[in-house]
Amino acid sequence: MNNSKLRGLFRLLRFELSFAAGACVVLAEVLALGGWPTLRMGIFGFLSVFSIAAAVLALNDLFDIETDRINAPSRPLPAEVVTKREALEVEGDCFGAGVLSAVPEFMRSPKKAKPSTGELFDFEKDG
For the segment 11-59, what is each residue's pLDDT rounded down to a tens digit? 878 888 889 999 998 999 898 888 888 888 888 888 888 888 888 888 8
Distance of CA 48 to the CA centre of its chain: 6
With 0.75 as the threshold, say if the pTM is over it: no
* pLDDT interval class at 127 (50, 70, 90): very low
Residue 14's region, left for phi above 0, alpha for psi from -120 to 50, else beta, is left
For the segment 83-98, what is each residue's pLDDT rounded down to a tens digit? 878 777 777 777 777 7
Domain assignments of the chain as residue spans, ordered by start: 3-107
